[in-house]
Chain A
Amino acid sequence: MDKIQVLLALSVALFAVGLLGVVIRRNMLVMLMCMELMLNGVNLSLVTFSHQLGSTVGAVLVFLIFVVATAEIAIAIPIVLMLVRQKHTLDLNAFTSLKG
C-alpha cells in the first residue's frame, strides 16, 4: 500500500464516518458537523489526485468546496437556531413534524 492508497483510504474512511454520523446521531449540531467531515473527506481525495497528477483542477475544486461549505453552514445554523427556539431541544425526534 503506497502513500496515495493510504490517503485515498483515509478519504474513504472520513467520508464513511461522516455519513454514518449523519445517519445514526440524533443531535442536529453533531449531524451538521458530520456533514463537514464528509466534505473534508472529499477534499482530501481531490487534493491527493491533484497532487499526483500535478494538475490544478483538483485544487480549484477544493476552493469552490470551501466556499460551498461556508455558505452551507451560514444557512444551516440560522435554521437550526430557529428550530431550537421552537422546541427547546436539539434532539432530531422532536422535529418529526417536518416530515409533513
Chain B
Amino acid sequence: MIESLLQHLDTLLLYVFAACALVGAVLMLVLRQPMRVAMALISTMVFLGGIYGLLGVHFIAAFQVLIYVGAVMVFMVYVIMLLEIRESAGMARYSALVVPGVVATALFVGALGYGVWHGYPALIRAAAGTRFGIHQFSISFLTEYWLHFELTSVLLVAAVVAALAVIKVSRRAHG
C-alpha cells in the first residue's frame, strides 16, 4: 500500500499542486482587497513552480520563483502598499460586464476543453516525455536562439526608457 503510494507520489503531488493552483486562481476572482489577491496569485505561482519541478524542468521552476514571485510580485505588493487606497465597502466588486464575461469565458473554456478532452496529435502522444536539463537548454538558447536572447536586452532597455518617460510626463503635469 505505502510502496505503491510512494511510487505514484510525484503524480499525486502533481494533482495536489494543480488543484491548489486552481483554487488560488479562483480566489483571485473572489477576494476584494488587492493585497489578498496578490497573495492568492503568489501562492498560485509557487504551486506552478512546484509543478515545473515535478515535471523535471528545475531551472524553470527556480526562475518562476525568482522572477515571478521574487521580482514581479514583490514589485506589485510594494505598489499596493505605496498606494494604500482602500476600496469602500459599498463599491461593487465586479463591473457591468459580469454576465457577458462569464458567458464568453464559459464558451472559451468549452471550446478549449473539448480540444484537451479529445486528445492531442499523435506526435505528442508518441513522445515519451524525455527530460532535458539546463545543459541542453543553455546550449540551444545561446546557439540557435542567440538573436532572440539579444533582442530581449533591447526590449528591456526600451521598457526602462518608457518607464522613465512616463515618470517625466507625470512630473511635468504636476509641476
Chain A positions within 8 Å of B, measured between CB atoms, are 1, 3-10, 12-14, 16-21, 23-27, 29-30, 32-34, 36-37, 40, 43-44, 47-57, 59-60, 62-64, 66-75, 77-82, 84-85, 88-93
Chain A contact surface mostly: helix
Chain B contact surface mostly: helix
Is there contact, CB below 8 Å, between A49 and B124?
A: yes
Q: Count B-side interface residues using an 8 Å CB cutoff.
A: 84
Residues in chain B near residue A20, CB distance under 8 A: 29, 101-102, 105
In-complex Cβ contact of A51 among B57, B76, B101 (8 A): B57
Is there contact, CB below 8 Å, between A16 and B108?
A: yes
Residues in chain A near residue B18, CB distance under 8 A: 6-7, 10
Is there contact, CB below 8 Å, between B68 and A66?
A: yes
Contact residues of B between 119 and 175, Cβ < 8 Å to A: 119-120, 123-124, 127-132, 136-137, 140-141, 145, 148, 152, 155-156, 158-160, 162-163, 166-167, 169-170, 174
Q: How far is the CA of A54 from the CA of B18 in the complex (A)?
A: 22
